[in-house]
Structures are given as C-alpha cells and as structure tokens.
Amino acid sequence: MKRVALLGMPNTGKSTFFNRITGASARVGNWPGVTVDLLGAKVLLGGEIVELVDLPGIYDLHGFSDDEQVVRHFLENNAVDLVLLIVNTSQIERQLSLVLQIKQLNLPAVVLLNMSDEARKFGITVDTQQMGEVLDLPTVSLSAKYGTGYKEAYQLINRAVQASHPVRLERIREMLAQDAQIEAAMEAALSKAVQIPVQLSDNLTARLDHVLLHPWFGLPLFFVVMYVLFQAIFFLGSPLQEGVGWALDQLRQGVLDPALAPAPAMLRGLLLDGIYNGVGTVAAFVPIIILFFLFMAIVEDTGYLSRAAFLMDALMSKMGLDGRSFVMMLMGFGCNVPALMGTRVMRSRALRLLTMLTIPFSLCSARLQVFIFITTALFTPRAAPVVLFSLYMFSFATAFLTALLFKKRFQNTEPFILELPPYRFPTLRQMALRGWHEARHFLNRASKFIIAGVVLVWLLTHFPAGAAPASPQTWAGMIGAFLSPLLDPIGINQQLAIALIFGFVAKEIVIGSLAVIYGMEGTALMGLMGHQLDWVQAYSFMLFTLIYTPCLSTIATIRSESKSLPFTLLAVGWPLGLAWLLSFAFYQGARALGY
C-alpha cells in the first residue's frame, strides 16, 4: 500500500483539507521512529487505496521543536511515496522555504496552494503553471474551506500517486544526518547537565494566570489595575508637579525678570510671556509623564500587557481586530507613531489598515499632559483620577466604535498567535531607563514643536501692531471668531480654539499655547482657567482634544504605512467629525440636565 504524507506550516488549512479528503475514516495510529500518535486514514487515490498521514504543522524541516523532530523522524523511518504540501497562498513568500526543503530531499511532492480565495482579496495572484515549472513540482490552487479547486487538485494528486515511488530511507537519513547529529548532541547535553521534572511544579506564573486570566474576572481586573495606576500617578505626581512649578516661578521672578528688564517690551514679552511661559507650563508636567511611563513599564515588562491582549482577543475579534491590535493601541498610549509602525507584524493588509484607523484614538503622552493640566485646574484631587480614567475609557470606546463601523470594509481572516511570557518584575535600572527614554523623547519633541508653536501663538495674539494682546482685534481673535459658529455649540471658546489649531501640529503645543494666549503660566494659568471654564466646558474640550485630528507626525506615518491617500484622508476626517459629534452630545446633554 502506498503512503502519502500531508505536510505544511501551521494555520495553512491542512487539517481542513485532511478532514475533507478523508471524511470520517481518520484514525490515530503509531508509526516507527515517532514517539507520538499521528492521524491517518485509508483513502482511494489514483485508482488504489493509499494511506494518508497528517503530519504536525512545522515551520522548518531542520528545526528542533517537538513537532519538527516528529516530522523528521517520520520521514527517516517510514517510506513515503508522495508528499502533499499545503501552502497558505496569502503567505506564500514565507512558506516556499518548506516546499524547497522537501524538494531538496528528492521526495515526490505536489504543491497545493490553499486559501486562494483569501489571497485574491489581498490582490495576490499566482500563475500555478509558471510556479510548477520553476519549482519542478506539480502545483494547483484550491480553497479547502469552500471546496473550490478540488476537482483539479484530485486529478493532479491521482496522477502523482500513480507515478510515484518511495525514496530509499537511507538517502533521506543521509541528507538529514547533520540534523540528527545536532539533535543527538542536544539530547546528550540535556541528559547529562539538565534536570527537568516530568511535570513542572505549580509556579507563580501559573497561580497568577489562574486569577488574572479568569474568563469572567480577568478583564474587569485589568481595568481595575489601570484605574489604580492612575490614582498612584496623581498621588505621587502632584507634589512633584507643584515643586517644579514653584522652581520655575522662582527662576522667572528672581533671575529672568530682572535680567530682561532693560530689554525692549516686545522682545521681553516674546521671551518671557511667550517662550518661557509656554515651555515652562509644559515642563511642569514632565514628572507626571515620567511617572506614567514608569508605571506602564512595570505593567508591560511584567508580562501583564500580553495577558491583556489575550483577554481582549475574543472581544477584539468581534470588531474585526485581534489581540495584537489591542497591544498596538496600548503602545499608542506612549506615542501613536511607533504603534502605527508596529502594525507591520500583521500580514493581513485589512487588519493593518483597520488597526491603524483605531490607534490614533489612543490617549498618547502629548494629550496626557493636556488632560493632567485641565483636570488639575478644574477638578478636585479625588475627582481628577476618575476624570482621567474616564477619558481612557472614551479612548477605548471610540476605537472600538470605529472598528465596528469599518470592519466590513477591512475584513480580516488572519489567525492570532501569542506567546505568554512568565511574569517578571523589572529592575529599578530598567524602570529608570524607561522613564528617562520617555522623558527624552518628550523633550526632543518639545524642542522641535513647542518652542516654534508658542512663538507662532505669541505672534498671532500680539499682531497686527496696535491691537491689545489676545484681544478680538488680533489675528488669533479673528481666527477664533471665524470658528465660533462651529465650536460654540460644544462649549469651546475662542482661546481654546486657537490652542486646538496648534494641537493639530503637535498636541504638546496645546498647553504652551494657552500659557501664551492668557499671558500666564503654572498655577496662575490654572487658576484663571478654573474661573473662566466650568467642568462641562473643560470636559467637552478634553473630549474633543482626545478624539479630533491626529498630529502631523501621526498623519505622515499613516500615509507612509498605508501608502494610500484616500485612507489617510479617512484617518483625518473621521476622527474630526466623531470628535465634534461626541462633544456636542455631551455638552448639550449636560446643559439640558442643568449642569
């Protein structure tokens, strides 16, 4: 009886093909040289009964994982007349290596390009005749899921079975001898120097996962952890922020004001009320930003973020995303740009685009300092962490809403595979380096955007010549008046409108521009805004800032990664419209309730 082996990488539809071709006749059997049971069946192919064996999915014939060793041992100890190589056509550039490894063994083989329907959706086409000629192997396209292409595949397999003959095992063993030597050396080293119990003892990771990955309690616990994190940031960060603000006030009053007193009024105003007030107000929040990333580093480096991705995968899949999308959204809390670039790990273009559409809703560090400033100015120390946590929930909600609305346009069928690392607590050095890295990144952006931004804001609020600073007669006042019909219904005044315009360039500029517009910094600015705005206006402004157009560097990254101008325009226009609608609903709803 002839023997046919079914071989391919994981998640190529190999089991679907095996089940379709064997029906209910499959059985588990033992095979010489193999320590595990494999699935096999007797089927009619090429006019005769042949034995079809389903081998484990492997990535590399020369690898040393358990599955790869099983396949290699099977081929070394069992004569095979034909190998059916299942290839995921949408990942063909990564899967041809296994095909060529089997060909190198001179084993008779047929290449079955599965998931051809999915490949067409990605714009991937394969000339099977040309592919067969290049590989010197019979090649055919099919869809194991939908059953298309089976007639041609059966005909090709039948002809190959009739013409096939087993390769001498001595030749296979000779060609795999080097792998066998490496494997023997590994086994010798492990047996002599390493002791591994038959069953690993219950360790901390297993005990924690029993609780943190609980199907009912795991996800609520994750959000509780995030809420406690925000509470700790405000509790520890507020004194540091006040200390930095006090030091900046002392520097201006004791050094800068006297030193620049002889300077012309225009220059003094630009340097002190413009650059110093703007940059100083932003700098006061650097300690809280560092604390935020220190805590996030702990959550990430312990391995808990991977668990969050695992927990969220079921929910994300309902929205056309997967656990990796959630990880990228969490990365976006630091900066949207590297998170967008991180989507390159996704093979499916549809999944990449849908994930890129949701990432800009992540509450990045630049928006974080805006929200910390506003919440500190208008909310009590007890309420501020709750307000910030609610904005993070809005961040997730808008991302999920976007995915739900656009998932049919960007359909994904790529499987999600995730390795859960053991829990590890980061060292103090790791946390310090992470905090310094984020602070340096923030300060680098500050040097590029904030100084230029506050200078432009100062010019807009002091020109044309003769106009009172920050008055309706200035250029800034004219811009604010022009935008009033659009922004008044959501509670955003003319001063806040100017800050939002510059926030389009970089969100770090928002607070600095407010310091320039109002001509104050630090606690004085917070006090003035606390008198000018009520909590409804403040929350509406933060909600709009959270959702509206991404910054220029994010937009440039979306354009570069998507290579699509229409998609980039969608990524800009959709958040802007959604921000206005949600802020309008909140502001008008709160006013209707009497707030």
Task: Return the beta strands (E) in 211-326 as ranges.
Answer: none
Residue 520, both tokens: 């104050």
- The domain that holds 14 is classified in CATH as 3.40.50.300
Question: Mean pLDDT throughout 1-21?
Answer: 84
Which of 131, 157, 192 lies at the terminal end of a domain, its last residue? Answer: 192
Considering the domain architecture, whether residues 434 and 518 belong to the same structural domain is answered as: yes
Indicate whether 439 pLDDT > 80.
no
CA 300, 301, 307, 313 dihedral sign is positive
Report the distance separating Cα 420 and Cα 423, nearest Å: 9
Last residue of a domain, one of 192, 226, 259: 192
Tell me if 552 sits within 8 A of 337, measured CB to CB: no
Is 141 strand, coil or helix? strand
The predicted model gives 376-390 an average pLDDT of: 87
In terms of pLDDT, which residue wins out, 234 or 87? 87
Closest CA to 282 of 386, 365, 175: 365
Return the minimum-mean-pLDDT range out of 160-164, 269-273, 351-355, 428-432: 428-432
* Main-chain phi, psi angles of 91, to 5 degrees: -125, 35
Residue 201 has pLDDT above 60, yes or no: no
Burial class (CB in 10 A: 0-12, 13-18, 19+), 504: middle
Other beta carbons within 10 Å of 143:
21
Q: What does the pLDDT read at residue 200? A: 47
**pLDDT computed for residue 126 by the predictor:** 86
- Check whether 6 has a pLDDT greater than 70: yes
State the pLDDT at residue 176.
82
Q: Which of the residue ranges 187-196, 202-211, 472-481, 510-519 would you say has the lowest mean pLDDT? A: 187-196
Any domain includes 299: yes
> What total of structural domains would you count in the chain?
2
Regarding whether 440 and 365 lie in a shared domain, the answer is: yes
Instruction: Identify residue 582 by its one-letter amino acid code.
Output: L
Domain end call among 123, 158, 192: 192
Q: Please determine, for residue 24, whether its predicted confidence score (pLDDT) is greater than 60.
A: no
Q: Quick one: pLDDT at residue 26?
A: 61
Residue 63, in any domain of the structure? yes
d(CA 27, CA 379): 67
Whether 144 and 224 map to the same domain: the answer is no
CB atoms within 10 A of CB 39: 18
- b/e per residue, 551-570, with b = 16+ CB within 10 A? bebbbebbbebbeeeebbeb
Q: In the prediction, which pLDDT does 434 show?
A: 66
Percent of the chain residues past pLDDT 90, beyond the cut = 15
* Cα 528 to chain centroid, rounded: 39
> Is residue 142 domain-resident?
yes
DSSP-derived secondary structure letter, 342: G
Question: Which range of residues forms the domain containing residue 391?
Answer: 218-413+430-592
Q: Examine the domain organization and report whether 292 and 174 are in the same domain.
A: no
Tokens of 223: 């959000």
- Would you say residue 204 lies in a domain? no
Q: Which two tokens stand for residue 207?
A: 């005990």
Which one is predicted more confidently, 422 or 252? 252
pLDDT(232) > 90: no
| Bridge partners of residue 399, in order along the sequence | none
338 within some domain = yes
Tell me: pLDDT of 356 over 70: yes
Work out the pLDDT band at 573, boundaries 50, 70, 90: very high
Same domain, yes or no: 43 and 165: yes
- Please report which residue ranges of 123-213 form alpha helices under DSSP H: 128-135, 150-163, 169-175, 177-193, 204-212
The DSSP secondary structure of 36-104, one letter per residue, reads S-EEEEEEEETTEEEEEEEPPP-S-TT--SHHHHHHHHHHHHS--SEEEEEEEGGGHHHHHHHHHHHHH
Position 346 pLDDT exceeds 90 = no
Examine residue 209 and state whether it is found in any structural domain, yes or no. no
Q: Do 238 and 292 belong to one domain?
A: yes
Q: Are residues 330 and 224 in the same domain?
A: yes
Residues 6 or more apart whose Cβ sits within 8 Å of residue 186:
64
Same domain for 161 and 228, yes or no, is: no
The answer to whether residues 267 and 335 belong to one domain is: yes
* 523 vs 414: CA distance, rounded Å: 51
In a domain, 374, yes or no: yes
CA 393 to chain centre: 17
With the C-alpha atoms ordered 407, 408, 411, 417, is the resulting torsion angle positive or negative?
positive
In a domain, 213, yes or no: no
Q: Which residue has the higher pLDDT, 48 or 404?
A: 404
Claim to verify: residue 160 and residue 252 sit in the same structural domain: no
Same-domain status, 168 and 262: no
If asked whether residues 274 and 333 sit together in one domain, one would say yes
Task: Check: CB of residue 40 under 8 Å from CB of residue 52.
Answer: yes
* Polymer length in residues for the chain: 595
Name the percent of the chain in helix, strand, coil, to the closest 5.
65, 5, 25
Rounded distance between C-alpha atoms, residue 472 and residue 429, angstroms: 52
Mean pLDDT, the chain, rounded, equals: 81
First-last CA distance in the chain: 83
For the stretch 538-560, pLDDT in tens is: 999 999 999 998 877 788 888 88
